[in-house]
Structure 1
């Protein structure tokens, strides 16, 4: 292993590569890892009780995951170039297994242990998400690349969507499986996924191959520090909006401003480097920039509503975390069913027509949420959500394939890192915007505290109306993001551009 790691400018060996086995292992492992991004959302109340912490403290389990994941994505371009594919994937799996075991066994007297475990899980996620895309781009020809990327959409789109439902089901009570009784507590969330991760790790030792060319490149420490500080502060600021609001200078405004300034300096430094840590010049490609912006808008539309809608279901409709998750589960399954089909269509027609159709679906299915009431039928909400997720499936991976298709093969790792970094920031920004809009509008319309004593029934009715106003405005903003993306799709090129074969290796 050490000898192979030391080789520089050396192509992978010509050993037989089982593409199906590699992609299956990569997708299953990535699914298990990315699943943890949202799985703790429904478990936060149980964790508050178990660790005796308040809501602000327990929220750090989500914040630390988003921050570390976002920090690792830019680093992934260097790691993909420097470390052989097999050992990079095995390393990510090993980090994830260690973090999951640490979370599973974390003593309730040491909340910091669970925090560290989440950071390790996020490190693994930050490595495997870009790696999965680069490997798919390498293994499959441009003619069949859309189908492969469509399958990846199963992972990137479904894992975050299924996470809350799965954890809600686990927390709902004890279940029998293979003669064993498990569930009913937060530890089971980690205990359930760990055996599968270990199995993927063991199989990857035999079936995973080195398919990416590695180079002996040096790590620019300045770039690493600027990347970590800049993206870390930016993501931290966005994550704090839901708790502290946009008016908080210390927690929101200052981190965002300083983070943006550091990223600006990081970008300037990269543009003057002979071998940049993160090649920002890919954004000078007009089509790559447009498709990356559209992918970012896709994630804002998807994850923002995925956060707001369950909150509506639980606070206004009074559903449990499990029931609200089950209401949205058909949408996740719809996305899983459509993603491979969308990939096949991309191979035939390119991304433009799919994106126009997809964002039209997302916009038309989001606008009706503006009119939700406390008695809107659940089946209506679920049906609209299914249409939304179908639209997102028609946009997300075809656009990602299109973004990478206009780059040369040598730019794949860097382009994937830039694309994923933009997507990660957009997801955090979108969630922050929709959550803050919902909360601020609700607060502005909340009745006076005096009415609560004078007329409790009237207060309850007006408070419910205020919450609905918040949700309505948030859904309207989400629809406007989708509409903006719909307008931007008309600037995409027609058909497919396979520049990956026109230069580089």
Structure 2
């Protein structure tokens, strides 16, 4: 018997909780990208070398990656409200400290504090909102959850460019303060504070394997641009060591009764497929976020601020499509929504690969709007499918895995396209337009691969089933029709 698709109307209580959580998490998603615009300014003002000032970003990313695996245990031990407010307080303290930094070392230290808070907040937000749904309206809910994730990489560089141009770099961190304060007040007043559902034992060995493993991979990928490729020991050795640690963790966790992260979720084809797409989206979203501003600056002669502003149309497109994509995902399933969105992303990237010096800029801006609409549409079904059919206790594990995959995928996509672009520029001396064409064709090829993988997503919308013990609706494990 085929169940009817779940309703797409979201509970007002979910909307209130989402508003509280997104208010706080906006500071994190903007901060992840906003600082990149100011690195050159930071180096000059703090009298630091490029190699040193890069740790302002790298230290943040490493701290964020290291703490992600422990978020499920923190929720079990201390409860959602305590963990959320504590993470916000950490991020706030790091932001204030970074804004008052007196040298590069102090700035890097406070960025690490920010990364710890931010690394806790992102998977906790997803866990709390997904658990509150009971398996219903996953597409519509994901459209709400994905909003800051979509807007951060797009509007962050714009905001950073405006601040660096018209204010001092310290305001990059001060803008986080009101978001953190308001987020903490809203959480204190509006979030429920039930006792922790269960007290789990920390998997110390798992933490000792997974957190350093993720951090090593992210560190190696962050070094790719500085070392000009994957062949340098400071790049491939950390990536190799990190991959081995993650592999050992996976083998151990697969057999464990109480793993830090339950990797057995990968037995579900829908979960595996959605995470493969989330990884490849690193090329489509974060990799292109590297190429597009550089293209406008180095080929079109735009300023850094203008190049950042020219990314705004992509954000508009993402906002326009996400609501429709969420409702359609709930109604007809993820496969064709993701497939169509990826095809749109692919086709709208081609104009950049074919562009010449004479191509009107308005055509590229239109392509960015369309591209943003495709990205907004494809993100929703990918995330919703990752949580379809999961028991409530499995949601924190899914949040940790999807966040880690996005983190590594974004770093990998950026690193690969940076190497492709650098080598293309070296082989096309004096012809940067042709070099960028090669890089955009590479991004298009990875998007084409994602299009094929999207065909493995579930065809029908997963429906919740009643829980006999509570009368509530809880998600059913995927059956053949959902796979």
Q: Normalization by structure 1: what TM-score?
A: 0.87
Two-structure CA RMSD over aligned residues (Å): 1.9
Counterpart selection for 2:87 from 85, 89, 92? 92
Structure 1 residue 196: Cα displacement: 2.4
For residues 314-367 of structure 1, what are the alpha-carbon distances to aligned partners after superposition, in whole Å with 9 as ceiling and x for unaligned?
A: 122221111001101121122123222211221211111101110110110112
The answer to whether the aligner puts 1:124 opposite 2:117 as a matched pair is yes
The answer to whether the aligner puts 1:81 opposite 2:76 as a matched pair is yes
For residues 415-454 of structure 1, what are the alpha-carbon distances to aligned partners after superposition, in whole Å with 9 as ceiling and x for unaligned?
A: 12111111111110000000010001211332xxxxxxxx
The answer to whether the aligner puts 1:415 opposite 2:398 as a matched pair is yes
The answer to whether the aligner puts 1:240 opposite 2:231 as a matched pair is no
For residues 390-419 of structure 1, what are the alpha-carbon distances to aligned partners after superposition, in whole Å with 9 as ceiling and x for unaligned?
A: 111111122111111132222111012111
Structure 1 residue 212: Cα displacement: 8.8
Structure 1 residue 92: Cα displacement: 1.0
Distance in 2 of aligned mates of 1:314 and 1:350: 40
Contact kept, 8 Å, 1:287 with 1:492, in 2: the verdict is yes
Structure 1 residue 258: Cα displacement: 1.1
Structure 1 residue 274: Cα displacement: 1.1
Structure 1 residue 481: Cα displacement: 1.1
Equivalent residues in 2 for 1:254-273, closer than 5 Å: 254-273=237-256
Distance in 2 of aligned mates of 1:376 and 1:473: 17
Structure 2 CA distance for partners of 1:118 and 1:274, relative to 1, 3 Å: same
Counterpart selection for 1:150 from 143, 149, 152? 143
Gaps of 5+ in 2: 1-10, 465-473, 478-483
The answer to whether the aligner puts 1:482 opposite 2:447 as a matched pair is yes
For residues 224-269 of structure 1, what are the alpha-carbon distances to aligned partners after superposition, in whole Å with 9 as ceiling and x for unaligned?
A: 1211221111111111001102254321111111111111111112
Q: How many residues align?
A: 459
Structure 1 residue 494: Cα displacement: 1.0
Distance in 1 of aligned mates of 2:23 and 2:123: 15
2:481 matched residue in structure 1:
none
Equivalent residues in 2 for 1:42-441, closer than 5 Å: 42-107=37-102, 110-173=103-166, 184-210=167-193, 214-441=197-424
The answer to whether the aligner puts 1:35 opposite 2:60 as a matched pair is no
Contact kept, 8 Å, 2:353 with 2:441, in 1: the verdict is yes
Gaps of 5+ in 1: 1-15, 174-183, 447-462
Distance in 2 of aligned mates of 1:143 and 1:211: 22
- Give structure 1 regions of 4+ aligned residues with deviation exceeding 6 angstroms: none
Contact kept, 8 Å, 2:78 with 2:196, in 1: the verdict is no
Structure 1 residue 384: Cα displacement: 1.1
Distance in 2 of aligned mates of 1:228 and 1:69: 10
Contact kept, 8 Å, 1:69 with 1:122, in 2: the verdict is yes
